[in-house]
Structure 1
Amino acid sequence: MSDYPIYATKEMLDDTFPFKIEIRRPHSMNRILHAHEHLQLCYMLSGSCLHWVAGQQYVLAKGDLFSIPPYQEHRLELRESMDFVMIQVDFMPHALNDSLRDLAHMETFVDFAYIRPLITDADLLHKMTLPPSTQTVVESLLHVILAEWESQEEGYRLAIKAELLKLLVITVRQYKRFVHLQSQQDSHRVALHRKAFYEAIHYMESHYHDDLHLEDVAAKALMAPSYFSHMLKLVRGKTYIELLTDIRILSAMTLLKETDLNVTEIAARVGYNHIIISIERSKSI
């Protein structure tokens, strides 16, 4: 158990449209160390404040864009007597489109939002300072999203999705520029973690018939088991158990359709050996 609250997505976001946008000011900022299950993108509209992430303190100022991945402990703190205005966007990727439950085609965004902070705390990308021209574009997008969210007129979800997609594209482009400026070794480590994560998913898809364990698959992804499972939820829309179950059921359906194997034989083929053991035990009683 962590010594700080972890806010569940189902408690903070609507499951049918897991999205929310808010303006944070000194009187409404969260000063308590906390984490959440969903992704958070924040942009400093004006002023300055302090941001504590993974035990490190960072100064945020106008034009800074930063991401808080799931389960990352963080909190805000006032910087002397300075005021600030920050726009906070909370969402799950599939709020944009159900097909984005698989973000494989947006690997750069996955790197920015999830992978890089997992390398070490020292490598945590705590913010990106956007150039002035990009700040203008981002602020315009965020104001449109905020207006749509507050009015919630007919079609507001589609309007938000369109503007949010633009924001993510800008984020991806800025992150690519950032990585380009980093050392070759640093970029290699990011690529290594991304590769390990997707290789772990491929391992599940090709070894689903084996006696798979979350701890072993997570080790292939170079992640802690709980984090790997939640990463799957964000990137593929399913937890480890849900994804493995889906893979096995789809394979079982194919075998039912294309072979003459009985249910027990198919269960064995797709990795449900425990079902066979249960059946055999019931027969012996």
Structure 2
Amino acid sequence: MGNKIGKMMKSQLHGSQFSLYNSALRQGEFYPQVIAYYYKQWQGFTMGFHTHQAVEIMYVISGQCQIEVETEVCALQKGHFIIIDALIPHRLIVDEASPCRMLNIEFLFKAQKLSFPSLKQLAQSEASLMELLKLNKPYIMLRDPQDVHNLLKSLVLELDSDHENELMVQLLLAQLLIRISRLLNESMQNPVRATDDYIRQVIDYMHHHYDRDIKVNDMAQAVNLHPGYLQRLFKNKMACSLIDYLNAHRMDKAKMLLTQTDIPVTEISEYVGVNTRQYFSALFKKHTGQSPLHYRQTIQAEKRNSPM
């Protein structure tokens, strides 16, 4: 595989190379050509900023990672992939505690004549691909319903084959680009649904992890969004901040525990993920107007005085 990649890179590095959004791709007879492809398990790794003379697809097979593109940070986990345009500075960051296995594919565009539809011809018959080629974004991050991964695996197997068929490679690349363009089109056509999905996911995450000391960064990683972007989405949709929602949910749980259990008041904070008893008491009083002890005593008195 290494020799094969080396030959491909050597033969193409001095050929025609274009951004995914170069208008020449929509006007001439160009075809994508893979110059590098590899699997890699990363752990405890921070890559320096770098660029490629090719378009790159980075697909997360397992684990999670962060990819910083120019000034933006993208959190990816299993089933997510990112397309980074040629010559865009980026770097990979993988935590020591969370290894990440990836499949990377880099490709250029070369002018040639093949008995297979060119990128221009494909785009003329597939509106979503034409829109992709006009998008002009430094990167695109998407969630895969498995189609993209299957196509990437088939492409790698064909590239690795001793009897590689160029038309088969072009067919797989065409399918790959069209499938990605359709996924992108779906996400852009229904951004409200996508936003609602993120809000639902982060609320589910808070409901399942409120007993832990979770931060905004933890929530953002759970839904694979930049923390600042997630906070803006949540505030616009829910009319409160992530932390305000989390604290309100914690106080609801605390009220239930104070009402329905005999757990000592001094231990309740540990059950709802609040670091200190003092902060828990202040937070509880802010939400209920009473201290945790007074709240329990009031509820107990009401139960004693209520008719059977």
TM-score using structure 2 length:
0.45
TM-score using structure 1 length:
0.49
Bigger radius of gyration: 2
